[in-house]
Amino acid sequence: MSNKQLKFQPVIGLEIHVELKTKAKMFCRCSADHFHTPPNTNICPVCLGLPGAMPYPNLKALEKTLLIAHLLHCRINRISRFERKHYFYPDLPKGYQLTQYLYPMGYQGYLEVEGKRFFIRRVHQEEDTAKLKHQRLKSRLVSLVDFNRSGVPLVEMVTEPVFDNSQDVVAFLKKLQRLLRFYEVSSCDMEKGSMRLEANISLRPEGSKELPDYKVELKNINSFRFLAEAIDYEIKRQTQLLSQGKEVTQETRGYNSVKKFTFSQRVKEEAQDYHYLLEPDIPPVYLSDEVVEKVRKTPDYSQLIGKWIKLGWPKTVVNNLLIRQGQLEWWQELETTVQEEGLDRHKLGHFLLKNKGSYYLKDISKLIARFKEDEKIINNVDQLVKVVKEVVANNPKAVADYQKGKESAIYFLLGQVRYRLGKVNVQTTLQQLRDVLTDEKSKK
Amino acid sequence: MKLTELRQLTGSFDNWQKAINNKELDLVEVAESLENLLQLVQDKYQAFITIRERSEILKELRENVEKRRPLLGWPFTMKDIFITKGIRTTASAKLLEDYIPPYSSTVYKRLQKAGGTLMAKTNCDAWGFGASTENSDFYPSRNPYDPTRVPGGSSGGAAVAVATGVSSFDISEDTGGSIRQPAALSGVTGFKPTYGSISRYGAIAFSSSLDTVGIIGRRIEDIIRVFSLIKGPDKLDATVYPQQKLTQLMLPSKLRNLTIGYLPEIMKEGVDKEILQAINEVKDFYKQELGVIFKEVKLPHFKYGVATYYVLAPSEASSNLSRYDGNRYGCDRTAFTDEAIRRIIIGTFSLASGYYDAYYLQALKVRRLIYEDFLRAFNLVDVLLLPTTPTSAFKIGEKSGDPLQLYLQDIFTIPASLAGVPGISFLVRLSSRGLPLGLQLVGPHFKEDLLTSLIAFWQEKKKTHLVYPQIEDE
C-alpha cells in the first residue's frame, strides 16, 4: 500500500523551561537578576565554577518548584536530590549542570485547558547556564561569556506527547504562562528568556497508537505564535515527506519567523550520554510537612478566577487584569466599594481594562471618582448632541466632504467634538455624528 | 634560631603560648628563622609548592600576636589543594601552575580568624591522586627519615613539614588515606575526622563524597585545639553536619572499660612483620595500662574496599575535573598528567550508560555493605585498632611504575573513608631500619573524643610525638 492513501496524525510533546522569580541564585547567594545587568557583576566562585567552590541549595527556589508541581497536579517527590549532567560547553563552567534526573520534584501530572486534560511527565529543578555573546571586538570575532545568568534557578516541565495540533499547544502554553505569573513563580517573559519553548513533533498514521520512531525537535522559538507557525509548517513538511515515502530525519530545527520556514540546526546521530552522577556535594533535601502543607493549601486558580466572574465581572477583564495572586486584596477592596455604591461591574471593568496601568488605578477612591466623572461625560447625551450639532454647523467643508462620500471626514469631526468635551465615548459620538449628518443631508 | 629550638615551639602550642606571653620571642627573628628553615626543608625534601615571603609571614605573625587571636600566630602550612586568596594554589597540578585564586577556602578563613600564620602550601600528588607524592606534577617530596624513600601521600609535603618540625600543623585532606598514610610513613599524627565535620568549601575537589578535611600534627591536644577552631557548619558547604559536639579529651579513668576491636583476618597477608609487632605492642600497652579488653572482629567486606574505592573515587574525580576544560586557567587539557588521565578515563567509563549499573552502582552498593560492617563492629567494640599501611616507607620509584601496587598502599585506610568514620594514625615507634611505624585507631561517626583520648594517653606515656628525624647540617 502506498503512503499516499494514508492520513497522518501529528504527535507533539513540549519541553518548557522557566526561570524562577527568586532573589538569589539556585546554589549561591548571588542576585538572580541577570536581565540588562552589566556583564559578570552578579557572580561568585560558585556560579563561576571555580576550583573548590560548592553548591548550597536555595530552599525558596525548591518551594517554588514544588508549587509548580502542585499546580500541575503532579505526584511529589518529598526528597529532593540533584544530579550532575555532564557536557562540555563554554557556558557551563563546571562541566556539568545540576538537575534532577532520577527524582524529579513532580511527575505524572496534568493541566486542564478548556475542558481537555494534557498530561505532564515531569517537573524538575535545575540551574541556568551562563550566556554567550558572539560579537566583533576590535575587528576580531569573539565569544564572550556573561556569568550573571549562570546558576539562576530554572524549572523544566515536560509534557507527554499528547498534543495533535498547534492551537491546543498555544492554549496550553497560555494557560501555563497565566498560572505561573498568577502565583508569581516566574515572570514567563519570552523576550527576556524567562520562558523557553521546545516542541517535539512527529507524525503517525491516523488511528495508530504507537509513537513514531523519530522526532523532530523545534528549538529556540520565543513566541507562542511562531511556535504555532513552526508546528504547522512541520506538519506540512513531514506529511509531504512521508506521503512521498521518504523518511523524516531525526534532528533539531529552528524557525525563521520572517521567511516562515523551519531549518535544520543539528542532526543528532545518537543520544548523548550525560554520565549522570548523584551530586555528592548536596545531601538529600527533605521537604518538610510544613512546606508541603503550605503549598497544598494554595487556592485553586480556576476557583479564584471563577469567583470574580460569578460576581458579574466581565471574563476578559478578569483574565486580563487579575493576573497576580498579590492583587486579590485590591480586588476585594474594589468589590466592597462596588457593592456599597452599587456600581456597574461591566462598565467599571471595561473602564479598568481601557486604563490598564494608569497610576490612579492603585488608589481605589481616586479610581472610582475618575470612573464616575467619565461616566458622567459619556452619559451626558444632551450635551453631546448639542456639541455635535455645533461642530457640524461650524465645519461645512468637512461636512461637504463626508456628504461626497469621503468617509474619513467624520473622524475630523469626531476630533472636534473630543476637543470640545475632552472625553467622549467614541462609538456613541460617531453614531450621533452620523445621525446629525444624515439629518443635514435630508434637510437639503 | 636553630631547627631544634624551633621544634620546641612548633611541637607544642603550650610552649609557643608561653614564649609569646613572656615576650621571649623576637618576631623578626622568628620570621627569618622560619624562612631559612622552610628553605632548608624545601632543599632537602621538596615539601612545598609555594613558600610565602618573609615580610608577609612577619606581618601576619605580628598581627596575630597583637590582636591576641586564639592561636597567637602559631605558624602552620596547608596542603596546596586549599584555596588561598592571593596565594597561588595549584593542587600540585601543572594545569593550575599559575592559578592565583580570588577567594579563600572556609578552613583558611577560619584559621586566619583564629590567628594561625600560614607559611607555605605543601606538595602533594597532583589533585590528591596518589600515595607517595611521586604523582606531583612538580617534584616528589622525600621522607625526612630516609630521603631515598617516599613520605607517603597524597599529603606527603604536609607530613614532611610537620615531621621536620618546621610547621606546627598542616591542614590536609584525606580521601582514601591521604592524611593517615603519609602521617604513618613520616612519623607524625594524621587526624581524619568524621566525614562532614569540617567545611570543604574551597578545597579543590577530588572525590566529594570521600574528601575529608583533617589535620596532620604531633600532639593530639594541639590537633584537637585546631580542630575545634575550624570544624562546624558553614553556609557554603551543605554536607557539613550541623550539630557537632565539642571534642574533649576524656580522663584515663573513663577509658578503662573500653573494648578495642582488632582484625587478624585482614592482616594475614602482605603486612610487614614489624607492623604486626607494633600492633601487639599497642595491644599490650592498653591492656596493661588501662585494662582495655581486646576483641577479635570481622569486617567481611573490608577486602573489597580498594576495588570499590577505585570505581567511586575516579567516577567523582572525572566529574570534578571536568571544569578544567581548557577554557579557563590558562592551560588546555594536555596539561593533565598520567594518573589524572587514568582516573578520568576509569571514572568516565564507569559512569557511562550501559556500564553504570555494573560499575558505579555496584560500587555504591558495596560501599553501603562496608559502612554496615563498621556499624555492626561498633556494636561490639568501641574502636578498632589496625595498621595504617602494610609496610613502612618504600623507596622512591619502587612502585611508581605499577599503579595497582600503589593503590594497595591504602588498603587499610580506604574502608574508613568509604564509611565516613574517623581515623587517626599515630606513631608507635621507629622500625629496626629507623623508619616510622604508624597504626590507626578508627571509631564510630563523631566519636573523635574516644580516639583522641586513647592516643593522648599513649603519647603521654610514650612521648612519640617528640620523635624527630635527624636532619644533617642542623
Could you report the per-residue pLDDT of B94-104, keeping only the tens digit for each?
999 999 999 99
Domain co-membership, A253 together with A172: yes
Assess whether A45 and A158 both reside in one domain.
Answer: yes
Q: Is B105 on the interface with A (CB under 8 A)?
A: yes
One domain for residues A54 and A160 = yes
Domain termination site, one of A321, A355, A378: A378
Report yes or no on B154 lying in a domain.
yes
Tens-digit pLDDT profile for residues B367-380 = 999 999 999 999 99
Q: Residue A52 and residue B328: Cβ atoms within 8 Å?
A: no
CA dist list (Å): B176 to A63, A335, B152, B301: 37, 68, 13, 16
Are A216 and A359 members of one domain? no
Please report, for the domain that includes residue A385, its CATH number: 1.10.10.410
Would you call B319 an interface residue with chain A, using a CB distance cutoff of 8 Å?
yes
Q: According to the model, what pLDDT value does residue A269 have? A: 66
Residue where a domain stops, chosen among A256, A286, A316: A286
pLDDT in tens, B5-51: 999 999 999 999 999 999 999 999 999 999 999 999 999 999 999 99
Report the alpha-carbon distance of residue A424 to residue A216 in Å, rounded: 54
Question: Model confidence over B233-266: pLDDT tens digits?
Answer: 999 999 999 988 988 999 999 999 899 999 998 8
Q: Which domain does B347 fall in, by range?
A: 3-466
Does B249 reside within a domain?
yes
A339 and A370 together in one domain? yes
Residue B472 inside a domain? The answer is no
Taken as a whole, chain B contains a residue count of 474
Q: Are B188 and B170 in contact (CB under 8 A)?
A: no
Quote the longest CA-to-CA distance of chain B. Answer: 67
- Listed by number, the residues of chain B in 166-225 with a beta carbon closer than 8 Å to a beta carbon of chain A are 200-205, 207-209
Give me the residue from A52, A56, A93 closest to B203, CB to CB.
A52
My answer on whether A358 and A224 are in the same domain is no
Q: Specify if A293 maps to a domain.
A: no
Q: Are A201 and A331 found together in one domain? A: no
Do A352 and A391 reside in the same domain of the chain? no
Does A96 lie at the interface with B, CB-CB under 8 angstroms?
yes
Same domain flag for A114 and A252: yes
A55, B209: Cβ pair inside 8 Å? Answer: no
Cα–Cα distance measured from residue A286 to residue A305, given in angstroms and rounded to the nearest whole number: 33
Min Cα separation A187/chain B (Å):
28
Does a structural domain hold residue B350?
A: yes
Burial of A180: CB neighbours in 10 Å, binned 0-12, 13-18, 19+: buried
Give the active site residues of B: 79, 154, 178
Instruction: Kindly give the confidence (pLDDT) of every residue in chain A, 444 residues in length, as a single tens digit, with 9 standing for 90 and above.
Output: 444 567 899 999 999 999 999 999 999 999 999 999 999 999 999 999 999 999 999 999 999 999 999 999 999 999 989 999 999 999 999 999 999 999 999 999 999 999 999 999 999 999 999 999 999 999 999 999 999 999 999 999 999 999 999 999 999 999 999 999 999 999 999 999 999 999 999 999 998 999 999 999 999 898 999 999 999 999 999 999 999 999 999 999 999 999 999 999 988 767 789 999 999 999 999 999 999 999 999 999 988 889 999 999 998 888 888 888 988 888 999 999 999 988 889 888 888 888 776 656 778 888 888 888 877 777 777 788 888 888 998 998 999 999 888 888 999 999 988 888 777 778 788 888 888 888 877 766
**Cα–Cα distance for residue pair B468/B37, rounded to 1 Å:** 15
**How many folded domains does chain A comprise?**
3
Q: Does residue B473 fall inside a structural domain?
A: no
Q: Are residues A98 and A121 in the same domain?
A: yes
* Structural domain containing residue A101: 3-286
Task: Return d(Cα B57, Cα A155) in angstroms, integer.
Answer: 49
Res B150: pLDDT = 98
Interface test with A, best of B90, B208, B357, B368 (most A CBs within 10 A): B208
Cβ-contact B64, B229 below 8 angstroms: no
Residues with Cβ < 8 Å from A419, sequence gap 6 or more?
none
In a domain, A292, yes or no: no
Residue B435 lies in a domain: yes
Structural domain count, chain B: 1
The reply to whether A115 and A24 lie within a common domain is yes
Q: Are strands A106-113 and A116-127 parallel, antiparallel or unpaired?
A: antiparallel
The alpha carbon of residue A98 is apart from the nearest alpha carbon of chain B, in Å, by 12
| pLDDT at B65 (0 to 100) | 98
- Residue B369 is assigned to a structural domain of this protein: yes
* Residues A172 and A95 reside in one and the same domain: yes
Please indicate if any CB of chain B lies within 8 Å of the CB of A273: yes
Residue A291 located in a structural domain? no
Question: In whole angstroms, what is the distance from residue A418 CA to residue A433 CA?
Answer: 12
Q: Distance between the two ends of chain A, CA-based, in angstroms?
A: 76
What CATH number has the domain bearing residue B237? 3.90.1300.10
Is A242 domain-assigned? Answer: yes
Distances (CA, A) of A233 to A10, A222, A238: 12, 16, 9
Beta-carbon pairs below 8 A across chains A and B? 93
- CB count in 10 Å sphere of residue A213: 10
